[in-house]
Structure 1
Amino acid sequence: MAVFELILCIIAAVVVSSFASRFIPKVSTPLVQIALGVLVAYLPFFPNARLNPELFMVLFIAPLLYLEAHEIDKSALLKTLKLSLSLAIGLAIATMVAVGFVLHTVWPVITLASALALGAALGPTDAVAVSSLGKEASLTQRQRGVLKGESLFNDASGIVGFQFALAAAFTGEFAVGQAAGEFVVSFFGGTIFGLVVAALANWVFETVRSLGWETTTTRILMELFLPFLLYLGAEEFKVSGILAVVAAGLFIRFDRSGVGPNVARTNIVSSSVWGVLSFSLNGAVFILLGMQLPQAMTASWSDPRINNTLLIGIILLVTAVVIVLRFIWVAAMLRIARDVNTGKRRKMTLERWRSAAVMTFGGPKGTITLSLMFTIPYSIAGGADFPMRDELIFIASGVIIMTLLLANFLLPLLAPNRGKDPSAEMVPITIEVLRSTVEELTGRITPENRRAVLMVIDLYTKRISRLKQRNGDSDPQGLERLQIEALHWEKEFVRDRLTQIKAHPAADAATQELNVEACERMLDQIMNTLRHTSTDPTSGHAVSQIRGRVRMLQRRVNNYAKRTISKIRHTTPLVSEDQIFARTRELQVEAIHHVIDRLVDEMGNSTYNTEHCSALLLDYRRAEASLQARPNMSGTAAMITQVEEVKKESYAIELGVIQDMLEAGDISRAQAKTLRRNIYVMQVDADSGI
């Protein structure tokens, strides 16, 4: 039960981090998650539970590496393969050796094998942490390709090196020849196992789809099951499960071809599920890091045998070793690398030194490093506690935080994002497409589909409002002006109705008085509202406002006089207050219908913003419903069906608007492709009922 509660706390913290990161975009999400993990650890209901290290490796490492290998750009990886492999293998081994010997020399209480294990764990970089940084830093496509390729391959090399170093620390023996042989068997065996399983999985997926047996549920379950099967199967054969997962992730295709809503739905759900799983697992690891820090710090700080100043100094020293060694290695590789066109080595210019610094700080430590440190066993052979386990985790955690902080604050200085945000550039284009769609939908309103179309228009209005708020382009004054104008439309409608009533009086005196009284009362309400919404009391409307107040006072005096005379004469008034109230409500509904018609007409013009008209339409529809106040549940299913049909029609309109804008040269093909992709997702949703 304690483990279950621990998992719930972690998931809750990951959810909170996804919201918190939106308010502090200049701070990377991993740093936010670490801070939340520290806070969660101090909560009174935080369970004191431990995750099994082997379970941690299977649960976090396998799916994360598999997804990273599967999602990487294969063409970009091939272009930067040499540099990526140099960093992933050569630099990882150099980091392992340098950190191991430096740490063991400075702090001999840590055995060389344990220090080498820490160095191996600090070899892998976390490209996900870089992508989680705010939009302030701008890396070139080549730099991103090198960092992603390095992160993919050095995960495997670092993990294999860590496992052998940890085995030496666990048993107290380290045979170089035997370790080298085991390394070769584990490396090539894991790679071959992964390729074989990937080929088999490709055949299974294609066969199941071709036979028509595939469903969204079975396909997603097979995809999720595969990385765990790969890792556990490879470990059973005594080969590297990590390399098996990476090899399979690179080779497997997950056939995305095919035509039809079922195929599209499967592809969309697959991407969504893996996206959620990736964010959740990465977030969980950093939350766990934050949770582990207080315990590790408390154990280290409270231990009288450990000098706290020395511990902090070692964190800074190890961080310096990792950063300096990485910078020298990257700069050397850039100097040795030959130009693709000339075939000659290029001198190190200021720009190339800056690129070396970008790739140095662009490789912070994160998920894999912490995951490996958590797999350190609590005891060694013979049952004794693993020496300095908390301190090793604390040092690794400190290095992770230092590299994340350096990446978070130095990368924007080294690679400032001077260009415009592509997503921000798409906002005004998307708004224009949505406005055109709303205008086209307005022209298709009929008495039969009026309510359904207005409901869909309201959905589009909310989308436009959200986009404008995101872009900082909202216009509340424009909506207020339209609201005042709508009140004037109501006033004109009631005045015209009052003029018609007086010009053509009813045969019944009571009916005539009822109609006149209802109109005059409603005029009083409208004029009173307009007087309160006036933003300029010194304007030319002041005289008319005074006249309106006088007329309203005169009508009220006349009404009170009539009722007083009736009471004195003991006669019954021609109309009662209840009748006047009911007739006024009927007149209000008629006035609302008039304003709704005017708003629909205005949506096709350029006088007012389309979203303002749509928003006010919703307000008047709500007012109409509250006035009528008749509970009516009949036709609800039919209305929902009609709304869905209108939504499908609106998607076709959107596609037509995009095509027209593309042909007119208003948008590029890339922008049109992005806009269409979003509509295709909504179409699949409507067709398949995701």
Structure 2
Amino acid sequence: MDVLELILCIIAAVVSSSFLSRFIPKVSTPLVQIALGAAMTLLPFFPSVELNPEVFMVLFIAPLLYLEAHEIDKSALLKTLKLSLSLAIGLAIATMAAVGFTLSAIWPAMPLAAALALGAALGPTDAVAVSSLGKEASLTMRQRGVLKGESLFNDASGIVGFQFAIAAAVTGEFAVGEAAGDFIVSFTGGALFGMIVGLFVNWLFETVRSLGWETTTTRILMELFLPFLLYLGAEEVHVSGILSVVAAGLLIRFDRTGIGPNVARTNIVASSVWGVLSFALNGAVFILLGMLLPGAMTASWSDPWVSNKLLIGVILLVTGVVIVLRFIWVSAMLRLARDVTTGKRRRMTPERWRSAAVMTFGGAKGTITLSLMFTIPYYLSGGKPFPMRDELIFIASGVIVVTLLLANFLLPLLAPNRNRDTGAELNEITIEVLRRTVEELTSRITPDNRRAVLMVIDSYTKRISRLKHRLGKLDPQGYGELQIQALNWEKQFVRDRLAALKAHPSADKAEQELNVEVCERMLDQIMNTLRHTSAGPESGRIGWQLGGRLRGWRHRTMNLVKRTVNKIRRTTPLVSEDQIFAHMRTLQVDAIEYVIDRLGEEMSHDRFDTEFCSALILDYRRAEASLKSRPNMEGSAAAAGQADEIKKQSYAIELGIVQDMLEAGDISRPQARELRRNVYVMQVDADSGI
């Protein structure tokens, strides 16, 4: 029962951290999770925490490393491979030696093998922690690629080094020659094992898919099962389970192959499941860190044989050794690296020194370091307690917290986000979002929806072409303000039309109700978009948004009630969706003509840039041409409904991609807000191409 309560507490804390992080975006999620874990230990019903080190390695490390290797950008990894390998292997070994010998020298009671194990555990970096550091730092794609590649490879090198150091500490014997031979066998054997299994799994999954035997459930269960089998199988044949997981993750590609709706649906569900599992596992590790910190601190802090000042000093010293050595190493690699075009080594400019500092503090410690420290055995081979186990965990935990704090608060200073994004930068990001959306839509094509999806893809292709044409020419903020103003003009036009209908009712009651319903529907669409794209009044913003939602709900409810009453009484013919569709398109054309006229008038004023007005007029002209080109508006409600549904799905895909890019740290929060605003603007005319 205690285990069940512990699992429920951890899950509750992980869920809570995801909500708290939204309210304190400048504090990284791992720091929030550590604080939550520490706070939970104060609860009276909280169970004691004890972990089996081997079980912990299998349950947490194997799936996290597999996912990290599987999801990494292979092309970006190849571009920065030399620098990433240098940091992952060379720097990891140097960190292990520097920390081990320094700690053993200043603290004679610390066995050298145990100190080396700490140094090995502090070698791996945590790219997941860095990517969630408040999203306030602006790292370049190269810097991010180097950090992700390093975190992937140095996990394996650090773990292998840690395991050999722990084996030496437990047995009391360490033969350099034998250890080097075992290291090579374990390293290469683990990589070969993973490659062989990865190739076999590719063949197996693709064969099952080609035979039509694959289902979403079986595919996801098999994939989730894979990293655990890889790790346990490799350890069973006495090679590195970590290397096998990494190698297989890099090679496996079955989720990138195949076409059809079933394959696309399976891939989408698998991606969602892995996303939830990754966040849960990473969060659980940091929650556990917070839970175990008080116990480790209490044991070390209350030990009369250990000075508390010494503990704090050791944490600061070890952190300093790790950071200084990393800065020197990165600077040396940048100095020795040759320019791609000239082939010559470049001098260290202030910008390159800043880049070195960014990659230094971007190498925060986290999941892997903590997981390794948890695997330290409690007893030596002779039955004696492992020397200074609590102190080692205490020091490692302190270094993790300090490096996370430094990354959280120094990275935004070294690589701050610009307060105002340039048009070229945001347009390039928008093009990337649209490109990914087109790829996702392509994977969802079926014989039934092929024509509708291709129509939507064509509209996205035109948007990409327009963005490429105007790349860097328009200020997105000024252009966005004009788009909002155009929406307000549309809103005013529809309101005036609705007021005129109510002031001068038609003799044909059915036609009157149809026109009123069409105006109210379009007005609701425009108001919904404005609620997402503008803040509304400076005071009472929440009330303004709630009021708008209530008015929209009231309009829809009243229309439904009227149509239901008419159906019961049979006093008025029912309005078909074909009629609503035709009248809606007619109203949209009229509104577009009105907005184009207003934009023409604005070109003679100074409120908006003339180039903005002309560009938006061109967009509205394209939308008008698209609407008028439909041959039979009266009978096309069903076909257009399918296209509208696909378009709504595409907007949902766009918003999902924006959120994924934000969570991955590829874009900043201001950029994400602007991208979302653009999507909401597009939703006003779901199939008009504006």
Length-normalised TM-score, structure 2: 0.68
| Structure 2 residue aligned with 1:323 | 323
CA displacement, residues 374-399 of structure 1 (integer Å, 9 cap, x when unaligned): 11112222322222111111110110
- Is the contact between residue 486 and residue 595 of structure 1 (CA under 8 Å) also seen in structure 2? no
- Is the contact between residue 3 and residue 51 of structure 1 (CA under 8 Å) also seen in structure 2? no
Task: Give runs of aligned pairs for residues 519-558 of structure 1, distance below 5 A.
Answer: none
* TM-superposed deviation, 1:156: 0.4
Please state if 1:619 is matched with 2:537. Answer: no
Please state if 1:30 is matched with 2:24. Answer: no
Residue 280 to residue 424, structure 1, CA distance change in 2 (3 Å): farther
Residue 392 to residue 259, structure 1, CA distance change in 2 (3 Å): same
* TM-superposed deviation, 1:43: 1.6
- Is the contact between residue 3 and residue 50 of structure 1 (CA under 8 Å) also seen in structure 2? no
| Separation in 1, partners of 2:386, 2:96 | 20
AA paired with 1:201?
V
Compare CA radii of gyration and give the structure with the larger one: 1
AA paired with 2:555?
Y
| Separation in 2, partners of 1:620, 1:166 | 70
Task: Give runs of aligned pairs for residues 497-512 of structure 1, distance below 5 A.
Answer: none
| Separation in 1, partners of 2:270, 2:305 | 52
| Separation in 1, partners of 2:330, 2:321 | 14
- Is the contact between residue 121 and residue 368 of structure 1 (CA under 8 Å) also seen in structure 2? yes
Residue 608 to residue 215, structure 1, CA distance change in 2 (3 Å): closer
| Structure 2 residue aligned with 1:183 | 183
Please state if 1:353 is matched with 2:353. Answer: yes
AA paired with 1:102?
T
* Farther off after superposition, 149-158 or 646-655: 646-655
* Farther off after superposition, 34-43 or 92-101: 34-43
Please state if 1:650 is matched with 2:644. Answer: yes
Residue 277 to residue 655, structure 1, CA distance change in 2 (3 Å): closer
- Out of 516, 525, 528, the residue aligned to residue 598 of structure 1 is 516
Give secondary structure in 2 for the equivalent of 1:318: helix
| Structure 2 residue aligned with 1:97 | 97
Task: Give runs of aligned pairs for residues 402-421 of structure 1, distance below 5 A.
Answer: 402-418=402-418, 420=421
* TM-superposed deviation, 1:58: 0.2
| Structure 1 residue aligned with 2:596 | none
Residue 624 to residue 321, structure 1, CA distance change in 2 (3 Å): same
Residue 72 to residue 480, structure 1, CA distance change in 2 (3 Å): closer
Task: Give runs of aligned pairs for residues 111-130 of structure 1, distance below 5 A.
Answer: 111-130=111-130
AA paired with 1:616?
R
- Is the contact between residue 38 and residue 291 of structure 1 (CA under 8 Å) also seen in structure 2? yes
AA paired with 1:318?
V
| Separation in 1, partners of 2:203, 2:275 | 24
| Separation in 2, partners of 1:107, 1:203 | 54
| Structure 1 residue aligned with 2:88 | 88
Structure 2 residue ranges without an equivalent (≥5): 438-479, 531-547, 568-576, 578-636, 653-670, 681-690
Residue 406 to residue 614, structure 1, CA distance change in 2 (3 Å): closer
| Separation in 2, partners of 1:422, 1:24 | 25
| Separation in 1, partners of 2:389, 2:416 | 40
Residue 620 to residue 654, structure 1, CA distance change in 2 (3 Å): closer
- Is the contact between residue 6 and residue 46 of structure 1 (CA under 8 Å) also seen in structure 2? yes
Please state if 1:77 is matched with 2:77. Answer: yes
Give secondary structure in 2 for the equivalent of 1:376: coil
* Farther off after superposition, 58-67 or 43-52: 43-52
AA paired with 1:213?
W
- Is the contact between residue 494 and residue 519 of structure 2 (CA under 8 Å) also seen in structure 1? no
| Separation in 2, partners of 1:424, 1:18 | 29
* Farther off after superposition, 87-96 or 619-628: 619-628
AA paired with 2:321?
V
Residue 345 to residue 597, structure 1, CA distance change in 2 (3 Å): same
AA paired with 1:395?
I
CA displacement, residues 34-71 of structure 1 (integer Å, 9 cap, x when unaligned): 11111112122211131211000000000111111111
| Structure 2 residue aligned with 1:306 | 306
| Separation in 1, partners of 2:427, 2:297 | 42
Give secondary structure in 2 for the equivalent of 1:109: coil
- Is the contact between residue 99 and residue 322 of structure 2 (CA under 8 Å) also seen in structure 1? yes
- Is the contact between residue 80 and residue 142 of structure 1 (CA under 8 Å) also seen in structure 2? yes
What do you get for the CA RMSD once the two structures are aligned?
A: 4.0
| Separation in 1, partners of 2:529, 2:141 | 38
| Structure 2 residue aligned with 1:5 | 5
Residue 474 to residue 277, structure 1, CA distance change in 2 (3 Å): farther
* TM-superposed deviation, 1:98: 0.5
- Is the contact between residue 34 and residue 289 of structure 2 (CA under 8 Å) also seen in structure 1? yes
Please state if 1:206 is matched with 2:200. Answer: no
| Separation in 1, partners of 2:199, 2:324 | 41
- Is the contact between residue 171 and residue 381 of structure 1 (CA under 8 Å) also seen in structure 2? yes
AA paired with 1:245?
V
- Is the contact between residue 482 and residue 608 of structure 1 (CA under 8 Å) also seen in structure 2? no
| Separation in 2, partners of 1:369, 1:33 | 16
Please state if 1:240 is matched with 2:240. Answer: yes
* TM-superposed deviation, 1:482: 11
| Structure 2 residue aligned with 1:467 | none
- Is the contact between residue 14 and residue 280 of structure 1 (CA under 8 Å) also seen in structure 2? yes
- Is the contact between residue 118 and residue 392 of structure 1 (CA under 8 Å) also seen in structure 2? yes
Structure 1 residue ranges without an equivalent (≥5): 434-470, 501-589, 633-638, 659-670, 680-690
| Separation in 2, partners of 1:207, 1:88 | 36
* TM-superposed deviation, 1:88: 0.6
- Is the contact between residue 49 and residue 291 of structure 2 (CA under 8 Å) also seen in structure 1? no
| Structure 1 residue aligned with 2:283 | 283
| Separation in 1, partners of 2:300, 2:384 | 19
AA paired with 1:651?
E
Residue 382 to residue 204, structure 1, CA distance change in 2 (3 Å): same
* TM-superposed deviation, 1:305: 1.4
- Is the contact between residue 498 and residue 516 of structure 2 (CA under 8 Å) also seen in structure 1? no
Task: Give runs of aligned pairs for residues 345-424 of structure 1, distance below 5 A.
Answer: 345-418=345-418, 420=421
| Separation in 1, partners of 2:236, 2:197 | 14
* TM-superposed deviation, 1:173: 1.7
Length-normalised TM-score, structure 1: 0.68
- Is the contact between residue 58 and residue 228 of structure 1 (CA under 8 Å) also seen in structure 2? yes
Give secondary structure in 2 for the equivalent of 1:377: coil
How many percent of aligned residue pairs carry the same amino acid?
69
Residue 256 to residue 355, structure 1, CA distance change in 2 (3 Å): same
| Separation in 2, partners of 1:18, 1:401 | 19
* TM-superposed deviation, 1:621: 3.6
Residue 368 to residue 627, structure 1, CA distance change in 2 (3 Å): same
CA displacement, residues 177-212 of structure 1 (integer Å, 9 cap, x when unaligned): 221111111111111111111111111011111111
How many corresponding residue pairs? Answer: 521
| Separation in 1, partners of 2:294, 2:92 | 29
- Is the contact between residue 96 and residue 119 of structure 1 (CA under 8 Å) also seen in structure 2? yes
